[in-house]
Amino acid sequence: MENEQTYIKTDNKILNAKYIRWVKKIGECLEVCTKSNGCDLKGGETHKICKLNNLDSYDKLNRHFE
């Protein structure tokens, strides 16, 4: 069996989806935390995926909110 990895493109990075801890939907964007001990939304510790900039990645994660 092949060890396939899924990557998610954010507005400024490419992340391994295996390390996503949580996702929060804020309007037309998603805030993604990859830190093992959690992230602070106000501290700029999350990665942003906006529908306008990264439609494929946004759709891949947003389907979990529907």
Rounded to 5°, the CA angle 27-29-31 comes to 115
Domains identified in the chain, total number: 1
> Is pLDDT larger for residue 66 or for residue 32?
32
| Single pTM value for the model | 0.83
- 50 inside domain: yes
- 13 inside domain: no
Which among 37, 32, 36, 38 has a CA at the least distance from the CA of 15?
32
- What tens digit of pLDDT does each residue of 1-59 get? 445 568 999 988 999 999 999 999 999 999 999 998 988 878 788 999 999 999 999 99
Print the domain residue range for 46. Answer: 23-65
